[in-house]
């Protein structure tokens, strides 16, 4: 822990600690140690698989669990159909995986498991992770765009009705805004998750330090901070869902550009 | 910020494990399970749509049958009404005929009776006249001692009788 003993370091929660194979595990010269981050990815994967598998009873009249899973698939399906149209159906597996993976990761990272001694780790607060997801999404956009439209895909950067004289100006602007997409996609999720967790940790340090400093500080700082924490925790649950939704929605909008141009 | 401070040591592990886990999610959950879940949903939707269509068809059929039944019923009723009307007309005609015959019989009877009465009255009248004439002859003879011929008496009586 970087900070003094007894203090809460708000950034410590993002530290990656190797659990297994910190030295030995290598793949083509790259270290692939199984870290706490990797463990939470695995936990997310297992829970998500169990969740969806529970909805596969394929009953005509669905039970609660099946209904829940079908609600999620229907939600993604509707979103893709609204944004892309009939052609959007083939992207349901990817967008569903993306949305559910991020949603589960965000919510699992918020669980108050510290109470029982475990340390929840939100791997979506690492831009290495969100960056890879954003690059995958962006790569799909590029592949689909060039596959379907070839070089005509570049007309995406020239909106309809642009005067001929304006094309040299508009084209670079549109190109840059297109190329910024993976960064905005990755940074949005990473920053939103990190900011929320830092805020919660800072507030919790106010609660702990305020309470330790005496009854007056406890009443003045500790209690209001605690009440604020409750509210912010609720907000963070909302943010966890919204950020997963935004990531999936923006990906589907970008795929729409590639699928239908303008 | 550990995200930046640790990036050189951890990026390969992060990317590797993300690709492993997300790849598993995409291929097993996304490609394997989600299509089947959606298949179930679309199967249910089509079953519901089919059931609704069948119900609609059954309802249409019932409506048609009711319509046909109503038509038949109306025809039957009209037929029955016609039969009743015919029977009524027949009965009325028959009774009229019977009545007419009876009337005729009664009329002839009455006529005959009238004639008989007239005859009887005439006979009675002549009798009364002759009796009255004789009586008048007798009375005149007794009171005035004048002999009156039968013809005179008769005409006198007739004259008096018309005043009665």
CA–CA gap between residue B140 and residue A197 (Å, rounded) = 168
Residue A199, classed as helix, strand or coil, is: helix
Chain B environment of A94 (Cβ under 8 Å): 26, 30
Note the pLDDT of residue A262.
Answer: 67
Chain A environment of B13 (Cβ under 8 Å): 16, 18, 30-35, 37-38
Among residues 34-63 of chain B, which lie with CB inside 8 Å of chain A? 34-38, 40-41, 43-44, 47
Q: What is the mean pLDDT of residues A198-212?
A: 87
Task: Give tens-digit pLDDT for A98-135.
Answer: 999 999 999 998 888 877 877 888 889 988 999 999 99
Q: What is the mean pLDDT of chain A?
A: 86
Segment among A87-96, A247-256, B152-161 with least mean pLDDT: B152-161
Could you report the predicted ipTM of this complex, rounded to two decimals?
Answer: 0.85
The minimal CB distance from B30 to the residues A42, A97, A136 is found for A97
pLDDT of chain B along its 164 residues, tens only?
A: 787 888 777 888 888 889 999 999 999 999 999 988 888 889 899 999 999 999 999 999 999 999 999 999 999 999 999 999 999 999 999 999 999 999 999 999 999 999 999 999 999 988 888 888 888 888 888 888 777 777 887 888 778 777 76
Q: Quick one: closest CA in B to A128, which residue?
A: B11
Contact A88, A252 (CB under 8 A): yes
Q: Which residue has the higher pLDDT, A44 or B10?
A: A44
Dihedral of the CA atoms B127, B131, B132, B136 (nearest 10)? 150
List of residues 6+ apart from B1 with CB closer than 8 A: A11, A14
List of residues 6+ apart from A111 with CB closer than 8 A: A120
The alpha carbon of A220 is separated from its chain's Cα centroid by a whole number of angstroms, namely 36
In chain A, where are the structural domains located?
Answer: 46-260
Both tokens assigned to B5:
């401070």
| Inter-chain CB proximity B29 and A97 less than 8 Å | yes
CA–CA gap between residue A205 and residue A7 (Å, rounded) = 7
Chain A environment of B42 (Cβ under 8 Å): none
List of residues 6+ apart from A29 with CB closer than 8 A: none
Closest CA to B10 of A29, A135, A34: A34
């Amino acid at each position: 822990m970087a900070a003094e003993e007894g203090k809460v370091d708000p950034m410590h929660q993002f530290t990656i600690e190797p659990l297994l194979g910190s030295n030995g595990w290598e793949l083509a010269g790259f270290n692939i140690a199984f870290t706490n981050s990797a463990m939470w990815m695995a936990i997310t994967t297992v829970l998500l698989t169990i969740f969806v598998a529970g909805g596969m009873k394929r009953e005509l009249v669905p039970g609660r669990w099946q209904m829940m899973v079908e609600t999620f698939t229907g939600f993604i399906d509707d979103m893709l159909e609204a944004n892309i149209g009939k052609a959007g159906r083939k992207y349901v597996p990817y967008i569903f995986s993306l949305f559910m993976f991020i949603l589960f990761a965000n919510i699992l990272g918020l669980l108050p498991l510290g109470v029982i001694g475990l340390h929840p780790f939100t791997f979506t607060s690492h831009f290495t992770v969100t960056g890879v997801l954003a690059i995958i999404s962006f790569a799909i956009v590029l592949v689909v765009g060039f596959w379907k439209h070839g070089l005509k895909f570049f007309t995406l950067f020239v909106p309809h009705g642009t005067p001929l004289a304006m094309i040299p100006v508009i084209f670079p602007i549109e190109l840059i805004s297109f190329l910024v997409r993976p960064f905005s996609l990755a940074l949005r999720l990473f920053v939103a998750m990190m900011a929320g967790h830092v805020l919660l940790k800072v507030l919790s340090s106010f609660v702990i330090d305020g309470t330790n400093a005496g009854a007056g500080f406890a009443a003045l700082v500790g209690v209001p901070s605690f009440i604020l924490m409750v509210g912010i925790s609720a907000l963070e649950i909302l943010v966890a869902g919204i950020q997963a939704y935004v990531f999936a929605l923006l990906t589907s909008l970008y795929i729409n550009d590639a699928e239908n141009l303008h | 910020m550990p995200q930046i401070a640790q990036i050189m040591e951890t990026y390969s592990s992060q990317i590797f494990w993300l690709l492993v886990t997300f790849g598993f999610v995409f291929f097993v959950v996304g490609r394997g399970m989600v299509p089947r879940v959606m298949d179930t949903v679309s199967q249910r939707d089509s079953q519901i749509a089919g059931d609704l269509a069948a119900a609609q068809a059954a309802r249409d059929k019932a409506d048609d049958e009711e319509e046909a039944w109503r038509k038949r019923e109306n025809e039957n009723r009209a037929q029955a009404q016609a039969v009743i009307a015919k029977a009524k007309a027949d009965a009325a005609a028959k009774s009229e005929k019977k009545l007419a015959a009876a009337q005729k019989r009664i009329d002839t009877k009455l006529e005959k009776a009238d004639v008989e009465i007239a005859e009887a009255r005439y006979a009675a009248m002549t009798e009364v006249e002759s009796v009255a004439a004789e009586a008048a002859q007798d009375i005149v003879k007794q009171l005035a001692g004048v002999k009156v011929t039968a013809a005179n008496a008769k005409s006198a009586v007739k004259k008096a009788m018309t005043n009665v």
